[in-house]
A and B are shown apart, each in its own frame.
Chain A
Amino acid sequence: MAFTFAAFCYMLSLVLCAALIFFAIWHIIAFDELRTDFKSPIDQCNPLVLPEYSIHSLFCIMFLCAQEWLTLGLNVPLLFYHFWRYFRCPADSSELAYDPPAVMNADTLSYCQKEAWCKLAFYLLSFFYYLYW
């Protein structure tokens, strides 16, 4: 296949997807530490959320430009999920999804952990999808 814009998109996505996988793993570790350790929730969790969301949005925009509908379709649900989480947060929160006082709630914590695992799975699958495309 010729080196089209689409191909470029996939290559870039591949690299960025690796980053997202890293982020997801980082989140999993972070939540696990929270659960077991003394780490304070204040400095945990949040710094990587915004980058993750923006990278993923970047994918979607690229695939949109490249008119890769199938790939875009696969990513859209997650995109909407990210939007939903982003806008559901309190007014001017820069803290995004993980509110330090609330995150220690057992329900919230297990939800966050599950979310991180699901994302890891999703990113891994999409990594291989981009790789073998």
Chain B
Amino acid sequence: MAQPARPPTGYPSQNGAGQQPYSNGPVQNQLMHSSDGQGYSPSVPGLYSHQTPAKVPPHQTSGQYNYSGSQNVSQLNNYQGPGQTLNRPPVAPFSGSPVQQTGPVPQVLLPALQNSAAISSAGSFPPGASPPVLSNWQYSQTPVSQPVGSQTSHLAHVTGTGSAQPPSSLSGNTKPPGNYQYAASPGGPPLQNSYMKPGSAPPPVTQPLTPLHPPARPPLGPPPVGGPPLIRPSTLTAGPPNTQSLLNSAANREGDATSAASDGSVVQNSYDAIEGGGLMATPHPSPAPPNLKMNRSVGYSYPTLPPGYQNTSPPGAPGMQASALQYPDGSKHFHQPALGTNHLTASMGGLSLQQEGLRPVNLLQERNILPMTLLKAPVPNLHEDIQKLNCNPELFRCTLTNIPQTQALLNKAKLPLGLLLHPFKDLSQLPVVTSSTIVRCRSCRTYINPFVSFLDQRRWKCNLCYRVNDVPEEFMYNPVTRVYGEPHKRPEVQNATIEFMAPSEYMLRPPQPPVYLFVFDVSHNAIETGYLNTVCQTLLDNLDLLPGNTRTKIGFITFDSTIHFYSLQEGLSQPQMLIVSDIEDVFIPMPENLLVNLNENKELIQDLLRTLPQMFTKSLETQSALGPALQAAFKLMSPTGGRISVFQTQLPSVGMGALKSREEPNQRATAKDIHLTPSTDFYKKLALDCSGQQVAVDLFLLSGQYSDLASLGCISRYSAGSVYYYQSYHHKHNPVQVEKLQKELKRYLTRKIGFEAVMRIRCTKGLSIHTFHGNFFVRSTDLLSLPNVNPDAGYAVQMSVEESLTDMQVVSFQSALLYTSSKGERRIRVHTMCLPVVTTLSEVYLGADVQAITGLLANMAVDRSVSATLSDARDALVNAVIDSLSAYRSSVLSIQQPGLMAPFSLRLFPLYVLALLKQKAFQTGTNARLDERIFTMCQVKNQPLVYLMLMTHPSLYRVDNLTDEGALNINDRTIPQPPILQLSVEKLSRDGAYLMDAGSVMFLWIGKNCGQSFISQVLGVPNYGSIPQNMTHLPELETAESIRTIAFISWLREQRPFFPILYIIKDDSPLKSSFLQNMIEDRTESALSYYEFLLHIQQQVNK
């Protein structure tokens, strides 16, 4: 339930994103006033609330919902859960001021819902929103924040216990504003007035959220959000004028007031009202006509509704929800009048969107095609009610948001159809359902989801196979509202992303304990690099943060030409080393004590980690028996499964799996004959064995010379591990890599982990899965075996249309990830996405998601380079652009215009493909070393789309003239939002300083004539000449410039789970070439400039 107690502990560990939300909550109100008004209003449900006033009365209860996530206990009243008793007291207050509170509330809910829809589409998980609190029911929304260290997901129970809550609830009531903005509502009445004023500057609230999920923001923006609030207006968004909104809001308020007055009802009852909504049974979201009218009259002024409403509504929940986005509780698409309004506005927004989308763009004429803000995922053209329930595009994204009806149409469009998934992403909140029966379709085993239709109260129709299923008795009861007979209100049907606690049917064996085995290379070469110090120290520091429970086991193996095991038997005064020199037939020297319980033997383990770096300093052994060491590790792990982390610094040279150097430096330039395929099957086979025993192998390659990553990488690729590569790692000569290793290792050790996982992807009948991309082993046509799953892994799936999708309005995709958490719970995380089906080519182009297409093409190109050649892959990439644009030209454009015409949705396609061609994985020329190229390919395959796009096409900002104009406000921090510049040297000026954000690295380039003030006040050095060569940190100075710059950089960093290193470079820095290499629009020795590339494409297209 309410997690109030929790947040502080768990969240901090999370990625930056997760943390903020909480902090935001309280602050928000203040922010609102202070803020520029730029906020992304979408997140704030409250804003929209006014629209719904008419309908309000029934919904008053919204406050009661805790969905809204307001963690404050007060809201919990309704929930009987553990917290309940505690909470109850608070209830009284509510009832006491029923009128005021209730009145606003209902409205709030509706709007919230609407908002939520918008939000959900946006995909951002609002940080602040606390999960729905269903105390008694197992349905607890835990903030699943992925906080690395602490597995938050498990927190759910904890949170559920009401112990912490009571106080919180009280506090919530008394000081509404303080806790959550939403929480404020309890205090409601008094606050209202004050809030109302702020209303004029509505959006701020949302802002906090936005930073977290930057990409997501845009989608939210358009319809719901008032145009003005958006700081950086996305190209698509056309917000309603503020003034309108204000007016409307005023009107709404009145309406609310009246409604409120009318609602005298007790809060508890209100639940029913809310959920019942009246039309329980109606399966389809049919907006109530009256509402529509209402809306029209109102105009779409969502944004205006300021905080005031939210505050008024005790539940605050609604707002929370909205912020929570994905979990719009009460809002069932089925009924709710409010929806109608949303729909209307949405459709209006949609119109403008469409027109914009259909406008062909002449790429040759539009020089500045790059949007000033990060590109967001397109919003599927769905009924608003459905869209608001849809899965967050960060988690689940399709290359074509309008699915073509037939394979023929798809072929005609010449665009790839596929999904990009980030299924285990750290989420700031996630509803978790514990229920003895998990409702699934009886024929296709689909989990019940928001896109099924209820034929009546007792039957539901699967949206994937269209079978009609019975609703089990237990499902009739809604734990959220404690109402019987509302299956469509259950959290399962309200959330596109949800997690189930799996009962024992989902276990083949008892859930395994978390087992971590570390395998270190201690040959002479490895000792030279000095990595062991860093790794052992980082491990020591994070030993307590390893995800796990009392059953966690840990073990160590080191190897050179022999294999060393460490016995950590209890009672030993120091670890005992056992050496196995028979590497042809590896055996385990002792049956137990090699993998020991972490908590019971912590001292011995710490002792070992402290002595390990010194133990081999005199080693002269240069051979490396990686293969046998891996075999030994596998044998050690196979009874339990778990994670093996291998640190390797050179080419394995003895025993099984020995490799020979295949790199020929002189031939790097020729794209032929480079060795991208493994030279031996040993690692692949071992990986398959590992996969069978639920063991994953993560490879850290720290190597100066060629180490044949193409062969070694297989060990991770097929066992669902990950690969890290630190080129030329050396503790003295390469301090930057050391820091990178430290940061990445910390993230690696502390991030959430899922064991013995499988992921299945289901899709509506007629679609079928063609190919998977990522690190895993494919066990069946739709089933991936993932011995480990981590929150930083992304997957891509190519789809094909097998049977034409006639008569279908929408299709759905569902991914279900079954895993064992580090706490030993079996869980299922389900994501469902719903997309419309279209019949014409122009609609297909309209819905194209250029980033997803680029991501999928990159994955396909990696496959192509391995199976054929690199130049084939490059040609295929170029042809993808040419084919799609010429198909567009010949089939969609009625008037043949000169120039290179592209649909608006694909206007960045040539740019992104050019970026791919210039990326390390696919570039030609002598720059890329073979291992580096292969590592980049691994990343393409394994990274989530957001990071892949940043890596491919970095964002460039000018930072020497940051201003607060358009800045975001988060937690009292002002975060400037400079516009994104095109990646061309033309945009660089010698008197500026530029920040390039390439995902895992950032470059800060200082121009030669950069303003003295910037150099002294941000870099803290007197002049340009005194900027040190290897500067990677900005000093924290007290100047405004410094604060702004640091705020901006740390804001960028907080959005991702890993820690991008900042390189400060000058004209003469060795890293300058890496910086300039990312200048994608410029010509390089071996690649075309953007304009030349366009000309080339035009030539081909017009042929």
Contact = CB atoms under 8 A, between A and B. Distances in A.
Interface of A: 34-42, 90-95, 100-101, 104-107, 109
B1102 interface: no
A92 B685 CA distance: 11
A39 B684 CA distance: 19
A99 to B, nearest CB: 8
Given A105-B771, A106-B771, A38 B688 contact: no
Q: Quick one: which of B677, B678, B768, B781 has the most chain A CB within 10 A?
A: B781
Contact of B778 (A36, A41, A94): A41
A42 B769 CA distance: 20
Interface string B780-791: 110100000000
A94 B688 CA distance: 14
Nearest to B798: A106
Interface in B793-841: 800
B779 A41 contact: yes
A42 B781 contact: no
A104 B783 CA distance: 10
Contacts of B777: 100-101
B992 interface: no
B688 A101 contact: yes
Contact of B688 (A35, A42, A91): A42
Nearest to A36: B781
B658 to A, nearest CB: 12
A93 B688 CA distance: 14
B783 A91 contact: no
Given A38-B779, A105-B770, A106-B800, A100 B688 contact: yes
B781 A95 contact: no
B780 A95 contact: no
Given A104-B779, A106-B770, A107-B771, 10 more contacts: A40-B779, A41-B778, A91-B681, A92-B682, A93-B681, A95-B681, A100-B688, A104-B781, A106-B768, A106-B781
Contacts of A94: 681
Contact of A101 (B679, B680, B682, B718): B718
Given A42-B688, A42-B692, A104 B681 contact: no
Contacts of A92: 680-682
Nearest to B691: A42
A105 B692 CA distance: 19
29 contacts: A35-B781, A37-B780, A38-B779, A38-B780, A38-B783, A39-B780, A40-B692, A40-B779, A41-B779, A42-B688, A42-B692, A90-B677, A91-B679, A92-B680, A92-B681, A93-B681, A95-B681, A101-B684, A101-B777, A104-B772, A104-B778, A104-B779, A104-B780, A104-B781, A105-B772, A106-B769, A106-B781, A107-B770, A109-B781
Interface string B657-687: 0000000000000000000011111101100
A41 B692 CA distance: 11
Closest 8 A/B residue pairs (Cβ): A104-B778, A106-B770, A105-B771, A93-B681, A40-B779, A101-B718, A38-B780, A42-B688
A95 B677 CA distance: 16
Nearest to A103: B778
B791 to A, nearest CB: 23
Nearest to A100: B688
A3 B778 CA distance: 53
B683 to A, nearest CB: 11
Contacts of A95: 681, 685
Nearest to A108: B771
A92 B781 CA distance: 27
A95, A104, A107: most-surrounded residue (chain B CB, <10 A): A104
Nearest to A105: B771
A40 B148 CA distance: 33
B778 A90 contact: no
Contact of B678 (A37, A90, A100): A90
A43 to B, nearest CB: 9
A94 B770 CA distance: 26
